[in-house]
Amino acid sequence: EVRLVESGGGLVKPGGSLRLSCAASGFAFSTYGMNWVRQAPGKGLEWVSGMSGSSPYKYNVVADSVKGRFTISRDDAKNSLFLQMNSLRAEDTAVYYCARVYCPDGVCFSGGAFDIWGQGTMVTVSS
């Protein structure tokens, strides 16, 4: 079964740090681009960050709202994606999802087409 499972969420004070993890199983993780998307309470979906897999076209991008504070990384040997979140603010409070780039028939659509999502992990930034 193709699956993504997030972990690492929790309650943190403003200015604090958290590291989210996303464990992948059931597919060749290293070959896929991966992303983080969040949803704040009562708000819509917001893309956070994405990075390429083993394709020749490499990318590592983050949204302006988290630039300089969040870092995406991956460990293909452990089939895992990470999001290091520093200098957290109240407005970072959200459910964080990891998501796989959709690649039907080997052609990948990295501009927001994500076919597999985790169940999400809640991050609450509050004093």
Tokens of 111: 């501009």
Print the binding letters for residues 51-80 with another protein: x by CB under 8 A, - otherwise: ----------x-xx----------------
Closest CA to 9 of 127, 92, 114, 115: 92
Closest CA to 91 of 64, 72, 113: 64
Q: 89-118: which residues touch another protein (CB under 8 A)?
A: 97, 99, 102, 104, 109-115, 117-118
Residue number, 17 or 60, with CB nearest to another protein: 60
The reply on whether position 50 binds another protein by CB under 8 A is: yes
**What distance in Å separates the CA atoms of residue 123 and residue 91, rounded to the nearest whole number?**
10
CB of 67 to another protein, least distance (A): 10
Cβ contacts of residue 120 below 8 Å, gap of 6+? 6, 39, 95, 96, 97
**What distance in Å separates the CA atoms of residue 72 and residue 78, rounded to the nearest whole number?**
15
Among 35, 80, 93, 121, contact with another protein (rule: CB under 8 A): 35
Residue number, 28 or 45, with CB nearest to another protein: 45
- Residues that bind another protein in the complex, under the rule CB under 8 A: 35, 37, 44-47, 50, 61, 63-64, 97, 99, 102, 104, 109-115, 117-120
